[in-house]
Protein backbone atom coordinates (compact mmCIF):
# COMPACT_ATOMS: atom_id res chain seq x y z
CA UNK A 1 0.00 0.00 0.00
CA UNK A 2 1.30 3.48 -0.87
CA UNK A 3 1.15 6.14 1.83
CA UNK A 4 2.82 9.04 0.05
CA UNK A 5 2.96 10.46 -3.45
CA UNK A 6 6.61 9.43 -3.61
CA UNK A 7 5.67 5.82 -2.90
CA UNK A 8 2.79 5.99 -5.41
CA UNK A 9 4.99 7.27 -8.23
CA UNK A 10 7.78 4.81 -7.38
CA UNK A 11 5.30 1.94 -7.56
CA UNK A 12 4.06 3.16 -10.93
CA UNK A 13 7.59 3.39 -12.30
CA UNK A 14 8.82 0.10 -10.82
CA UNK A 15 5.82 -1.87 -12.10
CA UNK A 16 5.27 0.15 -15.30
CA UNK A 17 1.70 1.00 -14.33
CA UNK A 18 -0.59 3.98 -14.53
CA UNK A 19 -1.68 5.66 -11.33
CA UNK A 20 -5.25 4.45 -11.73
CA UNK A 21 -4.01 0.85 -11.99
CA UNK A 22 -2.15 1.13 -8.69
CA UNK A 23 -5.22 2.67 -7.09
CA UNK A 24 -7.42 -0.14 -8.39
CA UNK A 25 -5.11 -2.74 -6.90
CA UNK A 26 -5.09 -0.95 -3.56
CA UNK A 27 -8.88 -0.67 -3.53
CA UNK A 28 -9.26 -4.39 -4.19
CA UNK A 29 -6.75 -5.18 -1.45
CA UNK A 30 -8.28 -2.86 1.15
CA UNK A 31 -11.97 -3.44 0.45
CA UNK A 32 -11.90 -7.04 -0.71
CA UNK A 33 -14.11 -6.07 -3.64
CA UNK A 34 -13.63 -7.41 -7.14
CA UNK A 35 -12.48 -5.29 -10.06
CA UNK A 36 -16.01 -5.30 -11.48
CA UNK A 37 -17.48 -4.22 -8.14
CA UNK A 38 -15.12 -1.27 -7.88
CA UNK A 39 -15.83 -0.19 -11.44
CA UNK A 40 -19.55 -0.47 -10.68
CA UNK A 41 -19.23 1.78 -7.64
CA UNK A 42 -17.14 4.31 -9.54
CA UNK A 43 -19.65 4.25 -12.40
CA UNK A 44 -22.38 5.16 -9.93
CA UNK A 45 -20.25 8.07 -8.70
CA UNK A 46 -19.64 9.22 -12.26
CA UNK A 47 -23.35 9.16 -13.10
CA UNK A 48 -24.12 11.13 -9.95
CA UNK A 49 -21.57 13.75 -11.02
CA UNK A 50 -22.96 13.88 -14.55
CA UNK A 51 -26.51 14.45 -13.33
CA UNK A 52 -25.41 17.18 -10.92
CA UNK A 53 -23.64 18.99 -13.76
CA UNK A 54 -26.72 18.68 -15.97
CA UNK A 55 -29.08 19.87 -13.23
CA UNK A 56 -26.89 22.85 -12.43
CA UNK A 57 -26.58 23.86 -16.08
CA UNK A 58 -30.38 23.79 -16.32
CA UNK A 59 -30.51 26.10 -13.33
CA UNK A 60 -31.04 25.65 -9.58
CA UNK A 61 -31.44 28.03 -6.66
CA UNK A 62 -30.55 27.40 -3.05
CA UNK A 63 -33.18 27.63 -0.29
CA UNK A 64 -31.58 30.83 0.99
CA UNK A 65 -31.36 32.42 -2.44
CA UNK A 66 -27.69 33.17 -1.89
CA UNK A 67 -26.57 31.03 -4.82
CA UNK A 68 -27.92 29.64 -8.05
CA UNK A 69 -28.12 30.44 -11.74
CA UNK A 70 -24.51 31.48 -12.26
CA UNK A 71 -23.68 28.30 -14.18
CA UNK A 72 -26.54 29.15 -16.57
CA UNK A 73 -25.15 32.64 -17.10
CA UNK A 74 -21.71 31.25 -17.87
CA UNK A 75 -23.07 28.73 -20.37
CA UNK A 76 -25.00 31.50 -22.15
CA UNK A 77 -21.87 33.65 -22.21
CA UNK A 78 -19.92 30.69 -23.57
CA UNK A 79 -22.49 30.17 -26.33
CA UNK A 80 -22.07 33.79 -27.38
CA UNK A 81 -18.42 33.10 -28.20
CA UNK A 82 -17.12 35.97 -26.08
CA UNK A 83 -14.97 33.97 -23.68
CA UNK A 84 -11.64 35.59 -22.86
CA UNK A 85 -10.30 32.59 -20.95
CA UNK A 86 -11.10 30.05 -23.67
CA UNK A 87 -14.05 27.73 -24.24
CA UNK A 88 -12.63 24.70 -22.40
CA UNK A 89 -11.65 26.75 -19.36
CA UNK A 90 -15.00 28.51 -19.14
CA UNK A 91 -16.85 25.24 -19.66
CA UNK A 92 -14.94 23.70 -16.75
CA UNK A 93 -15.70 26.69 -14.56
CA UNK A 94 -19.41 26.64 -15.38
CA UNK A 95 -19.70 22.91 -14.72
CA UNK A 96 -17.80 23.18 -11.46
CA UNK A 97 -20.15 25.93 -10.34
CA UNK A 98 -23.16 24.00 -11.61
CA UNK A 99 -22.26 21.06 -9.39
CA UNK A 100 -21.69 23.19 -6.32
CA UNK A 101 -24.91 25.10 -6.92
CA UNK A 102 -26.72 21.76 -6.89
CA UNK A 103 -25.03 20.99 -3.58
CA UNK A 104 -26.15 24.35 -2.15
CA UNK A 105 -29.68 23.61 -3.38
CA UNK A 106 -29.68 20.34 -1.39
CA UNK A 107 -29.30 18.21 -4.50
CA UNK A 108 -27.29 15.02 -4.82
CA UNK A 109 -23.57 15.33 -5.52
CA UNK A 110 -20.50 13.15 -5.12
CA UNK A 111 -18.09 14.51 -2.53
CA UNK A 112 -14.70 14.87 -4.22
CA UNK A 113 -13.20 15.01 -1.68
CA UNK A 114 -15.89 17.02 0.16
CA UNK A 115 -19.31 18.45 -0.59
CA UNK A 116 -17.95 21.99 -0.46
CA UNK A 117 -15.38 21.16 -3.15
CA UNK A 118 -17.56 18.74 -5.12
CA UNK A 119 -17.59 20.81 -8.30
CA UNK A 120 -13.90 20.88 -9.16
CA UNK A 121 -13.25 17.28 -10.26
CA UNK A 122 -16.43 16.84 -12.33
CA UNK A 123 -16.12 20.35 -13.72
CA UNK A 124 -12.68 19.56 -15.09
CA UNK A 125 -13.53 16.02 -16.14
CA UNK A 126 -16.64 16.85 -18.15
CA UNK A 127 -14.93 19.81 -19.81
CA UNK A 128 -11.94 17.80 -21.06
CA UNK A 129 -14.04 14.77 -22.02
CA UNK A 130 -14.45 15.80 -25.66
CA UNK A 131 -11.08 17.52 -25.96
CA UNK A 132 -9.29 14.28 -25.02
CA UNK A 133 -11.95 11.96 -26.50
CA UNK A 134 -12.44 10.15 -23.20
CA UNK A 135 -14.74 7.13 -23.07
CA UNK A 136 -16.60 5.95 -19.98
CA UNK A 137 -13.72 3.74 -18.82
CA UNK A 138 -11.25 6.61 -19.27
CA UNK A 139 -13.48 8.79 -17.10
CA UNK A 140 -13.55 6.16 -14.37
CA UNK A 141 -9.77 6.03 -14.52
CA UNK A 142 -9.72 9.82 -14.10
CA UNK A 143 -11.71 9.44 -10.89
CA UNK A 144 -9.45 6.66 -9.62
CA UNK A 145 -6.35 8.76 -10.25
CA UNK A 146 -7.96 11.69 -8.47
CA UNK A 147 -8.79 9.37 -5.60
CA UNK A 148 -5.22 8.12 -5.33
CA UNK A 149 -3.94 11.62 -4.62
CA UNK A 150 -6.91 12.39 -2.39
CA UNK A 151 -6.08 9.27 -0.40
CA UNK A 152 -2.58 10.57 0.29
CA UNK A 153 -3.84 14.01 1.34
CA UNK A 154 -6.55 12.60 3.61
CA UNK A 155 -4.06 10.33 5.37
CA UNK A 156 -1.19 12.80 5.69
CA UNK A 157 -2.90 16.17 6.04
CA UNK A 158 -6.60 17.02 5.85
CA UNK A 159 -9.47 17.45 3.40
CA UNK A 160 -11.61 19.28 5.97
CA UNK A 161 -12.26 23.00 5.88
CA UNK A 162 -12.89 22.94 9.61
CA UNK A 163 -9.47 21.44 10.19
CA UNK A 164 -7.38 23.09 7.50
CA UNK A 165 -9.30 25.84 5.73
CA UNK A 166 -10.50 25.87 2.14
CA UNK A 167 -6.99 25.00 0.97
CA UNK A 168 -7.75 21.52 2.33
CA UNK A 169 -11.03 21.29 0.41
CA UNK A 170 -10.97 23.21 -2.87
CA UNK A 171 -7.18 23.18 -2.85
CA UNK A 172 -7.03 19.41 -2.55
CA UNK A 173 -9.82 18.93 -5.10
CA UNK A 174 -8.07 21.16 -7.61
CA UNK A 175 -4.76 19.37 -7.17
CA UNK A 176 -6.47 15.99 -7.51
CA UNK A 177 -8.11 17.12 -10.75
CA UNK A 178 -4.82 18.50 -12.07
CA UNK A 179 -3.03 15.21 -11.49
CA UNK A 180 -5.80 13.19 -13.11
CA UNK A 181 -5.94 15.55 -16.09
CA UNK A 182 -2.27 14.99 -16.78
CA UNK A 183 -2.70 11.21 -16.82
CA UNK A 184 -5.80 11.48 -19.01
CA UNK A 185 -3.79 13.59 -21.44
CA UNK A 186 -1.04 10.97 -21.67
CA UNK A 187 1.39 12.42 -19.17
CA UNK A 188 3.66 10.40 -16.93
CA UNK A 189 3.02 9.58 -13.27
CA UNK A 190 5.79 12.01 -12.33
CA UNK A 191 4.11 14.78 -14.35
CA UNK A 192 0.85 14.07 -12.53
CA UNK A 193 2.67 14.54 -9.24
CA UNK A 194 4.18 17.79 -10.50
CA UNK A 195 0.75 19.07 -11.55
CA UNK A 196 -0.62 18.22 -8.11
CA UNK A 197 2.19 20.09 -6.37
CA UNK A 198 1.95 23.16 -8.62
CA UNK A 199 -1.80 23.32 -8.18
CA UNK A 200 -1.86 22.90 -4.41
CA UNK A 201 0.95 25.43 -3.97
CA UNK A 202 -1.23 28.00 -5.72
CA UNK A 203 -3.99 27.56 -3.13
CA UNK A 204 -1.98 27.36 0.10
CA UNK A 205 -3.42 29.55 2.82
CA UNK A 206 -6.92 29.70 1.33
CA UNK A 207 -9.29 30.24 4.25
CA UNK A 208 -12.70 28.72 4.84
CA UNK A 209 -15.08 31.60 5.59
CA UNK A 210 -18.63 30.59 4.57
CA UNK A 211 -21.18 33.37 4.95
CA UNK A 212 -23.76 32.41 7.57
CA UNK A 213 -21.89 29.15 7.96
CA UNK A 214 -23.48 27.82 4.76
CA UNK A 215 -21.64 26.10 1.91
CA UNK A 216 -22.68 28.74 -0.62
CA UNK A 217 -20.77 32.03 -0.49
CA UNK A 218 -17.92 32.05 -1.44
CA UNK A 219 -17.76 28.27 -1.88
CA UNK A 220 -19.46 28.03 -5.28
CA UNK A 221 -17.12 30.52 -6.92
CA UNK A 222 -14.09 28.97 -5.25
CA UNK A 223 -14.91 25.76 -7.08
CA UNK A 224 -14.59 27.80 -10.27
CA UNK A 225 -11.15 29.00 -9.19
CA UNK A 226 -10.17 25.43 -8.32
CA UNK A 227 -11.20 24.10 -11.73
CA UNK A 228 -9.28 26.78 -13.61
CA UNK A 229 -6.22 26.28 -11.41
CA UNK A 230 -6.33 22.54 -12.10
CA UNK A 231 -6.32 22.95 -15.87
CA UNK A 232 -3.53 25.55 -15.85
CA UNK A 233 -1.42 23.41 -13.53
CA UNK A 234 -1.94 20.34 -15.72
CA UNK A 235 -0.80 22.29 -18.78
CA UNK A 236 2.28 23.52 -16.93
CA UNK A 237 3.25 19.99 -15.89
CA UNK A 238 2.64 18.59 -19.38
CA UNK A 239 4.88 21.34 -20.76
CA UNK A 240 7.68 20.15 -18.49
CA UNK A 241 7.35 22.69 -15.69
CA UNK A 242 8.21 21.22 -12.30
CA UNK A 243 7.70 22.16 -8.67
CA UNK A 244 10.85 23.04 -6.76
CA UNK A 245 9.15 21.73 -3.62
CA UNK A 246 8.41 17.96 -3.71
CA UNK A 247 4.74 17.00 -3.75
CA UNK A 248 4.71 15.36 -0.33
CA UNK A 249 6.37 18.41 1.20
CA UNK A 250 3.70 20.64 -0.34
CA UNK A 251 1.05 18.45 1.29
CA UNK A 252 2.89 18.70 4.61
CA UNK A 253 3.10 22.48 4.25
CA UNK A 254 -0.65 22.64 3.64
CA UNK A 255 -1.25 20.62 6.80
CA UNK A 256 0.98 22.88 8.92
CA UNK A 257 -0.62 26.03 7.51
CA UNK A 258 -4.02 24.65 8.45
CA UNK A 259 -2.85 23.90 11.96
CA UNK A 260 -1.75 27.51 12.48
CA UNK A 261 -4.79 29.08 10.81
CA UNK A 262 -7.07 30.93 13.26
CA UNK A 263 -10.32 29.12 14.06
CA UNK A 264 -12.26 32.13 12.75
CA UNK A 265 -10.96 31.20 9.29
CA UNK A 266 -11.74 27.49 9.48
CA UNK A 267 -15.41 27.01 8.59
CA UNK A 268 -16.77 28.71 11.71
CA UNK A 269 -18.46 31.47 9.72
CA UNK A 270 -16.91 34.15 11.93
CA UNK A 271 -13.97 35.58 10.00
CA UNK A 272 -13.03 36.53 6.47
CA UNK A 273 -15.96 37.17 4.15
CA UNK A 274 -18.37 35.81 6.75
CA UNK A 275 -17.24 38.54 9.13
CA UNK A 276 -17.84 41.45 6.74
CA UNK A 277 -20.80 43.82 7.26
CA UNK A 278 -22.62 42.26 4.34
CA UNK A 279 -21.78 38.75 5.47
CA UNK A 280 -23.19 39.47 8.92
CA UNK A 281 -26.27 41.13 7.44
CA UNK A 282 -26.98 38.12 5.25
CA UNK A 283 -26.60 35.84 8.23
CA UNK A 284 -29.13 37.85 10.20
CA UNK A 285 -31.56 37.89 7.28
CA UNK A 286 -31.35 34.11 7.01
CA UNK A 287 -31.32 33.09 10.65
CA UNK A 288 -32.47 36.16 12.54
CA UNK A 289 -31.08 37.15 15.91
pLDDT 10s digit of each residue in the chain, 289 long?
Answer: 899 999 999 999 999 999 999 999 999 999 999 999 999 999 999 999 999 999 999 999 999 999 999 999 999 999 999 999 999 999 999 999 999 999 999 999 999 999 999 999 999 999 999 999 999 999 999 999 999 999 999 999 999 999 999 999 999 999 999 999 999 999 999 999 999 999 999 999 999 999 999 999 999 999 999 999 999 999 999 999 999 999 999 999 999 999 999 999 999 999 999 999 999 999 999 999 7
**How confident is the model at residue 1, as a pLDDT?**
87
DSSP-derived letter for residue 67 is: S
Write the DSSP string, 119-180.
THHHHHHHHHTTTTT--HHHHHHHHHHHHHHHHHHHHHS---HHHH-HIIIIIHHHHHHHHH
**What pLDDT score was predicted for residue 4?**
98
For residue 9, the model assigns a pLDDT of: 98
Quote the pLDDT of residue 61.
98
d(CA 171, CA 206): 8
Beta strands in the chain (DSSP E): none
Euclidean distance between CA atoms 278 and 289, whole angstroms: 15
Q: How far apart are CA 67 and CA 8, in angstroms?
A: 39
Domain boundaries, the chain: 5-47+132-287
The pLDDT tens digits of the residues spanning 224-268 come to: 999 999 999 999 999 999 999 999 999 999 999 999 999 999 999
Instruction: State the pLDDT at residue 262.
Output: 97
Q: For residues 178 and 161, what is the distance between their CA atoms, to the nearest angstrom?
A: 20
Total Cβ atoms within 10 A of residue 270: 16
Measured CA to CA, the distance from residue 190 to residue 223 in angstroms comes to 25
Q: How far is CA 181 from CA 39, 51, 93, 134, in A?
A: 19, 21, 15, 11
The reported pLDDT for the residue numbered 176 is 98
CA angle 249, 252, 254 (to 5 degrees): 115
User: Which neighbouring-strand residues pair with 68?
Assistant: 61
Amino acid sequence: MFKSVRELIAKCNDEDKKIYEVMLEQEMEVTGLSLDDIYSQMSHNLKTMEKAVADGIEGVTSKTGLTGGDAVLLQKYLDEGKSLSGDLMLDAISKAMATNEVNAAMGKICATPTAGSAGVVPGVLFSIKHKLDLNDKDMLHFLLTSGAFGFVVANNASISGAAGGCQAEVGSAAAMAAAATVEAAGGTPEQSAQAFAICLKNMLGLVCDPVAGLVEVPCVKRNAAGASNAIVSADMALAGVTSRIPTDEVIDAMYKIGQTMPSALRETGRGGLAGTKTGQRLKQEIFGD
